[in-house]
Amino acid sequence: MKHKQVLSVIAALFDTLLFGGIIFGWPSLDFVLKREGYFSSKCEIETGDLKNGTTVASSEKSLNCPSQDIALNLVYTLSTTIGGVSTFPLGYLFDRFGAWKFRTGSILTFILACTAIACSNKETSWLLYIAMPVVAVCSFAILTSNTPIGYFCVAAQATVISIIYGAFDSSAAVMVVMKIASQLGATVAEIFTFYGALLLLSLVYTFVLMPRMHVPFNVPDGYQYGVTECCCFNNPISSPQNTNTPNQSRRKRSGVSESTPLLANQGEEQKTFSSTLKDLSYWLNVLYLSILQLRLYVFYGTLNQWISTLTSNREQQSKYITAFGFIQLTGILIAPFSGVMTDMMTKYYRKSVTCSEQVVRKRGVCFTIGCTCLMATIFSALVLIPVLEIQYITFFVQNAARTFLYAGNGAFLATTFPSEHFGKLNGLTIGIASVVSLLTYPINILVLKVFGGSFVVVDSVFLGLCVLTFVHPVVLFFRTKPS
C-alpha cells in the first residue's frame, strides 16, 4: 500500500471519528440542551420552585421535567430513525454521483445543520426537530463514503472496514467533549459554530485524499486519485502494461492463492434479489437487528432519566454520563475483534469439517452473532441491578454489543447472499430496523406517564427479547450442515 493510500485510510478513520455517529452520544448533548433550557417552556413552574424569595434557575427546574424529556427524546428518535432509513438512498446517491459530489453536498448540508443549531435557543427549540435529523443523515453519509477506503488495504480489508465502523461507534464521544465545553462556559451556539467550521477539514480531505468517483474493489498498481484528478485529464489508473488481470494482481500482492475465492459466495448458486427476501435466515437477521438496535436506542435516549433513578446527585449523574461517553471511544478498539473472531472460527471449521467455503463462513459468522446476543442479554440483565457502581460494566458491555451487532450484520449478509445484492439488503435491513426504532418514543412516554419513571418493566421485557434473539444464530447453525 502506497504512502498516500495509508494517509487516506488514517484520514478516513479520523473523519469518521469526528463526524460519524455523533448522534449516538445523545445523552451528553441532552444534558447540555437541558442546561440551556431547550423545550423548558413545556415545564410547569410550581410554587415549590420559589423558596425564601429565591428563584430556582430554569436549568435546574428543567432537570426533572417529563414534558421536556419527552420532547428531547422525540428529537433523538426522529434523528436516529431518519438517519438509519437514509442508508439505502445514500448508498444509491454515492454510487450515482461519486465521492467528490456526494461528500461535498453532504458536508455543506452538515454545515448548514450546525449553523441552524448554533442559531437556535430555548425560544426556537423546534429547530432541533429539523437540524438534528439532518446531522444524523449527514453522519451516515460520512460513513457511507469512508467505508470503501478500506479497499486500499489488500491484506487486511475486512479489518480496516471494521475499524472504520468502530470509529463510527466511537464518534459518540464527540458529544462528551461538547458537554465538557458547556460545563466550562461555552454555549450551544459557540460549540456548533466551531464544530461546523471543523467540517471544512473534511472538505479538504475529500479533494486531496479521496478519488473523484469510487475506490475500485481491486485497486490497480499505480492507481492515482485525489488532488491529481483536479489538474490532469488522463486516466487516473496510470499503471504500466501488465499481463495479469486486476484480480490476479491483487491476489499476488495480498498473498491469496489462485484457488481461493475472493468473495465468500463465489462459485455458489446465485440467488435473485426476490429469492433472498424469501429466505428465513434473512428475516431472522432483520428481527435480531431490530430488537437489539431498539434495545440500544432506548438506552441511549433515556440514559439521563435512567441514571436519575439510581442517584439524585446531579454531580454523580454528570460524572456517569461523561464516563459513558468516554467508554464509547473503545468502540474503535473493540471493532477488530469481531472480524478476528469470525476469521478464527472460519479457519477452525475449514479444518474440522468438509463442506463448501460459504457454509464454513456462515458457521464462523454464527459464533459472532451468538456472542452479540449473549452480550446484549448480559447488558439487559445488568441494567436491572440498581447499583450505581456496576453501571461502568454495563456501559462497556453495551458498547461491545453495539460494535459486534453491526459488524455481525454486515458479515452475515456478505457471506449468506450474493455480493451484488449486498447494498440493497444492507440498506433494507437497517431501514426496517430504524423504522422499528420509532418505538423508542412511545416507550419513553410509557415509562414516564404509566410506570412513573421506573424502567424495571421495560428493561425486563427487553431482557426476554434479547434471549429470543438467540434463535437467529441457532437456526443459522443448524441450516448450514456440513456435506
Its pTM stands at 0.75
Residue range 104-128: mean pLDDT, rounded? 92
Residue range 312-328: mean pLDDT, rounded? 87
474 or 426: which leads in pLDDT? 474
User: Which pLDDT does position 339 carry in this prediction?
Assistant: 72
Asked whether the predicted pLDDT for residue 220 surpasses 90, the reply is: no
List the grid coordinates of 125: 427549540
CA-based nearest residue to 164, from 295, 372, 376, 338: 338
138-166 pLDDT tens trace: 998 888 888 777 777 666 666 777 788 88
User: Which pLDDT does position 219 carry in this prediction?
Assistant: 67
CA dist., res. 74 & res. 97, Å (int): 33
User: Which pLDDT does position 398 carry in this prediction?
Assistant: 92
| Residue 328 CB contacts under 8 Å (≥ 6 apart), including other chains | 24, 25, 169, 170, 172, 173, 176, 399
User: Which pLDDT does position 61 carry in this prediction?
Assistant: 46
User: Which pLDDT does position 338 carry in this prediction?
Assistant: 76
User: Which pLDDT does position 448 carry in this prediction?
Assistant: 86
CA dist., res. 316 & res. 174, Å (int): 20
Residue range 292-319: mean pLDDT, rounded? 88
Q: How confident is the model at residue 266 (pLDDT cuts 50, 70, 90)?
A: very low
342-368 pLDDT tens trace: 777 777 777 766 666 667 777 778 888
182-195 pLDDT tens trace: 989 899 999 999 99
Residue range 378-386: mean pLDDT, rounded? 94
Asked whether the predicted pLDDT for residue 417 surpasses 80, the reply is: no
Asked whether the predicted pLDDT for residue 468 surpasses 90, the reply is: yes
Cα 272 to Cα 70, 275, 418, 425: the distances in Å are: 44, 5, 8, 12
Asked whether the predicted pLDDT for residue 435 surpasses 70, the reply is: yes
Residue range 81-99: mean pLDDT, rounded? 83
List the grid coordinates of 150: 478500506
User: Which pLDDT does position 152 carry in this prediction?
Assistant: 73
User: Which pLDDT does position 226 carry in this prediction?
Assistant: 66
Assess contact for 246 and 217: CB atoms under 8 A: no
78 or 94: which leads in pLDDT? 78
Residue 206's CB is within 10 A of a number of other CB atoms, namely 22
| Residue 481 CB contacts under 8 Å (≥ 6 apart), including other chains | 355, 359
Cα separation of the two ends of the chain: 39
15-53 pLDDT tens trace: 999 998 888 888 889 888 988 888 888 675 433 443 444
User: Which pLDDT does position 483 carry in this prediction?
Assistant: 54
Residue range 70-77: mean pLDDT, rounded? 88
Residue range 387-411: mean pLDDT, rounded? 87
Assess contact for 21 and 139: CB atoms under 8 A: yes
Tell me the pLDDT of the chain averaged across its residues. Answer: 79
Asked whether the predicted pLDDT for residue 268 surpasses 60, the reply is: no
CA-based nearest residue to 7, from 200, 231, 209, 282: 209
Asked whether the predicted pLDDT for residue 280 surpasses 80, the reply is: yes
User: Which pLDDT does position 46 carry in this prediction?
Assistant: 39
CA dist., res. 379 & res. 396, Å (int): 9
